[in-house]
Chain A
Amino acid sequence: MSQRLKLFRWRAVGPLLLFLVLLVVLWIVFADSFVRSQAESSLSEILGTEVDIGSLRIREADAAVDIGDLAIADPRNPNRDLVQAGTITLDLDPVPLAEKKILVDQLRLSGLRFFTSRKAPARPANPNSPAGRLLGETEQWARDKFQFPKLALGRIDSLKSLVLQPDQLGSVKAVKAFTGTVDSTRDAFEQSLAGLQLRPLLDSSTALANRLAKTDPKKLGVTGAREAVDEVQKALDRLKQAKARLASLEQSARTSLGALQQGLSEVDAARQRDYAFAEGLLDLPSFDAPNIGASLFGQQSTDYFQQALYYARIVQRYVPPGLQPWNRPGPTRTRLAGTTVEFPKLKEYPRFLLQKGQIDLATGSAAQNLFKASFGGITSQPELYGRPATLSGSGRLGGDSPVALELSGLSRHFGTAPTDSIAARVRGVTLPVIPIPGLPFAVNPGKSTVGLAFSLAGDRLAGAWEITSDQASWVSDTARLQTASLVENTVWRVVSGLSRLRVRAELGGTVESPTLRVSSNLDDAIAERLRGLAGEALAKAEQKARDAVDGLVDHQITAIRERVNGLSAQLADRLPVERGQLDTAQKSLETELKRLAGSATGGIRLPKL
């Protein structure tokens, strides 16, 4: 008889328990480094830059995590860290951990430092990662949307020869297109006028009036007179209808003429753009104050706005509004990462929530370092949390020469369009030297006040960046300055004596069509000196550019202008004549009608026509 097969192998319980104990031991030994490695990898992936964590310790009994020496590299400068944090302590709520969700009750951060040098350059972000792509896109966005004129001042002394081709000019294309419009407008007018059939109507009406004028109404008898009255009234109706149609045609012709005048203005505007294009080929400097501001500090300001936009887009990417399932790349592993889908649900925990965080820097002398900041509501699913993420802080940082820092931020990713905004102001900060593009000198702002405000609401942009300094100094590349042009030397003489620096850049518009206005206290001074020095040469160069454009388009524009004027004159001449002839015919018929009506009614007075 065969032995009955047992379902369980009870003697394997011991080894299984041993295996589980082994797992626990492995967790105790390796969990910290495993989680540290995972956290570094995830944060690097999200932020698109190298994130290093010096140490990480999980305190299971306290449901807390201690992180030491966190460093986040600058994605645009691998040799420096954006932020370094000495110690971070996270107090976790253990219950959501059962659902693989992280709820941080409180975060405490100390030992915060900004823009510190790295010992080793940071690894560049993978350009194919989501953050890498975002970084590339925002850099491309700044290049595409903002182009600043360079103060290429050397070129004005010796003008280049200028050769233009007709297909380079927008006005040539505009004239070609506009010629078609003028022709079709004229043809349409001629056709409409012919369609009114005014000549046969005038001829028949005049003939009728003439025939009746020669007729004695008394000889027509009552019936004949009535028939003649009917005939005249019908002719009058036809004349009135023709006049109404003529008035309508006149109205439509006036509208078309207005459009043609507008077309001429557009051709003129295209010619102005061609002038600018031709001047651009000559590399002429612009001496308008706003252009000088943009030339000097435009690039610097867009660097700040571009970084702010990058981080705003990162937030928009990883903090999606609404409660739709959300796809994100799976974990980094030997197997294919795949896609991990999150399924948020109302009244449940979000996947990540930092309820409250504090940065308290009171190290060293309290008088020197006193900075406090608080933040909260940072979550991966704001719709579940229902409140915006906020950040606010103020205080002093630094040793012998402290800087005062104020910052605030808000991120609202629920309800209507997501909104992210940040504002920061730092007083007493020593800024690095700002090179002036295209010129052999740079400004060292020294101790300054720097302000940055930025917001992205949907696709609407708003921002301001400003530098205020009373200790600015100017440094030159002596070798280059010796060979620099007269104009460059003049600019150097203007700026080198200035210690006061005020720069302000304002960003507006949308991501697709941003606007940027940059101004500084140097703009007017430089513009005035340059106009005085190089105004004559500049005017000569501008005239040369204009002559080159006019040589190609002037006769075409003159011709099309004459055609428009001719059509306008034709309308002005012909329509009143036609209208006058209709009026005359109508009056003749009305006269005959009165005469006939008196006879047909046998002396009964008719109502006045």
Chain B
Amino acid sequence: MLTILKLLQSLFQTLHSEGTPGQVAAGIMLGAGIGLTPLLSAHNLVLFAAVMLLNVSFGGGMLGMALFTPVGFLLDPLFDRIGLALLSAPALRGLWTDWYNIPLLPYTNFHNSVTLGSFVVWLVVTAPLYFLGKRAIAHYRATYGSRVLNSKFMKALKASKAYNIYSWFVPQ
């Protein structure tokens, strides 16, 4: 229950943040990468740094991660098949062999079927995710945004100290 409340809180914070719909959608897109792929891989450190350092919605990133982590669990068997097919493809064997022997790259666990499959799926869905997210947020803000923004819940949320810390990451 607490997780769902936190997710809702994150959702509203993100939808009403100062960022443009594009910044929020970009944050969601990067967060989806962290959520879809197994967490303990070096590429997630890069994605997390990108969410923090790039001028995208940090809340969007957290929201993307929260939304896509369960999706990742559900789609693991599919990722496994895609990843194993890619790792077993004779045409790609030279590439994987080179990558496997390049310093630091093995820490991304690209040679694990689930990690590679989920990362490739994420790469494929990044562009659709970005444009769909951007459009959906713009539509929300134009229709329901002002009513929710003036609700007691959002006012209480904005008044909290947590919001002050969160505002450090609000896109400029």
Which residues does A use to contact B, with CB under 8 Å? 5-9, 11-13, 15-16, 19, 98-101, 325, 330-331, 333-345, 348
A331 CA to B106 CA, complexed, in Å: 14
Additional pairs, 9, CB under 8 Å, beyond known A99-B104, A338-B113, A339-B80 = A9-B172, A15-B169, A101-B106, A325-B88, A325-B97, A330-B112, A336-B76, A342-B111, A345-B98
21 contacts between A and B (CB under 8 A): A5-B20, A8-B53, A12-B168, A99-B102, A99-B104, A330-B113, A335-B38, A335-B73, A335-B76, A336-B76, A336-B77, A339-B80, A339-B84, A339-B112, A340-B112, A342-B100, A343-B96, A343-B99, A343-B100, A345-B101, A348-B101
Instruction: Report A-chain residues with C-beta under 8 Å of the C-beta of B79.
Output: 336, 338
From A8, A98, A344, give the contact of B54 (CB < 8 A).
Answer: A8
- Cα(A47)–Cα(B100), bound, Å: 26
Cβ proximity bits B27-57 to A, threshold 8 Å, 1 near / 0 not: 0000000000011100000001100111100
User: Any chain A CB within 8 A of the CB of B115?
Assistant: yes
A345 and B113 within 8 A (CB): no
Residues of A contacting B96 with CB < 8 Å? Answer: 325, 341, 343
Given contacts A330-B114, A336-B114, contact A16 B106 (CB under 8 A): no
On chain B, the residues within 8 Å of A8 by CB distance are 53-55
Chain B contacts of A337 at CB under 8 A? 114
List B contacts of A335 (CB < 8 A): 38-39, 72-73, 76, 114
B115 (CB) vs chain A CBs: closest residue: A338
- The one of B55, B76, B88, B101 in contact with A6, judged by C-beta atoms closer than 8 angstroms, is B55
Judge whether B93 is part of the interface by a CB distance below 8 angstroms: yes
For B109, list chain A residues within 8 Å (CB).
340
Q: B106 is contacted by which of A99, A325, A333, A338 (Cβ under 8 Å)?
A: A99
Contact check: which of A16, A325, A334, A340 meets B113 at CB < 8 Å? Answer: A340
What is the predominant secondary structure among interface residues of chain A facing chain B?
Answer: loop
Question: Which residues from B are CB-within-8-Å of A342?
Answer: 100, 111
Distance of B28 from chain A, by nearest CB (Å): 16
Task: Give min CB distance, B88 to chain A, whole Å.
Answer: 7
Q: Nearest residue in A to B37 (C-beta to C-beta)?
A: A335
Complex: how many Å from CA A317 to CA B20?
Answer: 55
CB distance from A109 to the nearest CB of B (A): 28
A341 contacts across to B, CB distance below 8 A? 84, 87-88, 96, 111-113
Interface on chain B toward A: helix, strand, loop, or mixed SS? helix
In chain A, what residue has the closest Cβ to B169? A12
Write out the residue numbers on chain A whose beta carbons fall within 8 Å of the beta carbon of B145.
none
- Please tell me if B103 contacts chain A, counting CB pairs below 8 Å: yes
Interface: B83 (CB within 8 A): yes
Query: Is A338 within 8 A of B80, CB to CB?
Result: yes
Q: How far is the CA of A333 from the CA of B118 in the complex (A)?
A: 15
In the complex, A11→B54 CA distance in Å? 11
Closest chain B residue, CB of each to CB of A16 = B52
Cβ A99 vs Cβ B49 within 8 A: no
Check if B104 sits within 8 Å of A98, measured CB to CB. Answer: yes
Check: B131 CB closer than 8 A to any chain A CB: no
Q: Pick the contact of A338: B48, B83, B93, B172 (CB < 8 A).
A: B83
Q: Which residues of B line the A interface, CB within 8 A?
A: 20, 38-40, 48-49, 52-55, 58, 72-73, 76-77, 79-80, 83-84, 87-88, 93, 96-104, 106-107, 109, 111-115, 117, 168-169, 171-172
B107 touches which one: A5, A9, A100, A344 (CB < 8 A)? A100
A-B complex: 9 closest residue pairs judged by Cβ atoms: A338-B114, A336-B76, A98-B103, A100-B106, A338-B113, A343-B100, A343-B97, A12-B52, A341-B87
Assembled-state Cα–Cα distance A337/B76 (Å): 9
The complex places the Cα of A7 from the Cα of B112 at a distance, in Å, of 33
A219: min CB distance to chain B, Å: 93
Q: Who on chain A is nearest to B51 by CB?
A: A12
Q: A100-B106, A330-B113 are in contact. Are A12 and B72 (CB under 8 A)?
A: no
Docked complex Cα distance between A378 and B103 (Å): 23
Determine the residue in chain B with the shortest Cβ distance to A100. B106
User: In the assembly, what is the distance between CA of A348 and CA of B136, in Å?
Assistant: 50
Which chain A positions have C-beta within 8 A of B39?
335
Kindly state the separation between the CA atoms of A389 and B101 in the bound complex, as whole angstroms.
Answer: 23
How far, in angstroms, from A337 to B114 measured CA to CA in the complex?
7
How near does chain A come to B111, taking the closest CB pair, in angstroms?
5
CB contacts (< 8 Å) of B100 on chain A: these are 99, 342-343, 345
Q: Which residues of B contact A330 (CB under 8 A)?
A: 112-114
Q: Is A340 a contact partner of B111 (Cβ separation < 8 A)?
A: yes
The interface residues of chain B lying within 8 Å CB-to-CB of A7 are 54-55
Given contacts A16-B53, A330-B113, contact A338 B84 (CB under 8 A): yes
B168: contacting residue among A15, A99, A340, CB under 8 A: A15
Q: How long is the Cα–Cα vector from A344 to B101 in the complex, in angstroms?
A: 8
**B58 proximity list for chain A (CB < 8 A):** 12
A333 to B40, CA, bound (A): 10
Q: Give the distance in Å from the alpha carbon of A151 to the alpha carbon of B67 in the complex.
A: 70
Chain B's closest residue to A336 (CB) is: B76
B3 to chain A, nearest CB (A): 15
Q: Which residues of B contact A99 (CB under 8 A)?
A: 100-104, 106
Q: Given the complex, which residues of A lie within 8 Å of B102, measured CB to CB?
A: 99
A92 to chain B, nearest CB (A): 15
Looking across the interface, which residue of chain A has its beta carbon closest to that of B105? Answer: A99
Contact present for B72 and A9 (CB under 8 Å): no
Please give the distance in Å from A7's CB to the nearest CB on chain B: 6
**Chain A residues, CB < 8 A from B171:** 9
Instruction: Give the distance in Å from the alpha carbon of A342 to the alpha carbon of B172 in the complex.
Output: 45
Residue of A6, A9, A325 with most partner-chain B CB within 10 A = A9
Q: What's the least CB distance linking A99 to chain B, in Å?
A: 5
Q: Are A9 and B169 in contact (CB under 8 A)?
A: yes
Question: Roughly how many angstroms separate A100 CA and B103 CA in the complex, as a whole number?
Answer: 8
- Cα separation A298 to B163 with both chains bound (whole Å): 77
Task: State the CA gap A337–B73 with chains docked (Å).
Answer: 11
Is the Cβ of A325 less than 8 Å from the Cβ of B93?
A: yes
A345 cross-chain contacts in B, Cβ below 8 A: 97-98, 100-101
Which residues from B are CB-within-8-Å of A19?
Answer: 48, 52
In this complex, the member of B48, B72, B96, B106 whose beta carbon has the largest number of chain A beta carbons within 10 angstroms is B106
Distance A101 CA – B107 CA, assembled complex (angstroms): 10
Nearest-neighbor residue (CB-CB) of B20 within chain A: A5
Chain A residues with CB under 8 Å of B87's CB are: 325, 339, 341
Given contacts A9-B169, A341-B96, contact A15 B52 (CB under 8 A): yes
**In the complex, what distance in Å separates the CA atom of A336 from the CA atom of B116?**
13
Query: B residues within 8 A CB of A5?
Result: 20, 55
How long is the Cα–Cα vector from A99 to B110 in the complex, in angstroms?
13
Q: Residues of A contacting B54 with CB < 8 Å?
A: 7-9
Which residues of A are found within 8 Å of B106, using beta-carbon distances? 99-101
A21 to B87, CA, bound (A): 35
Nearest-CB distance from B21 to chain A (Å)? Answer: 13
Tell me, rounded to whole Å, the shortest Cβ–Cβ distance linking A563 to chain B.
62
A269 to B98, CA, bound (A): 63
Q: In the complex, what distance in Å separates the CA atom of A370 from the CA atom of B80?
A: 52
B105 to chain A, nearest CB (A): 8
Contacts of A100 in B (CB 8 A): 106-107
B112: chain A residues within 8 A (beta carbon): 330-331, 338-341
Give the distance in Å from the alpha carbon of A340 to the alpha carbon of B110 in the complex: 9
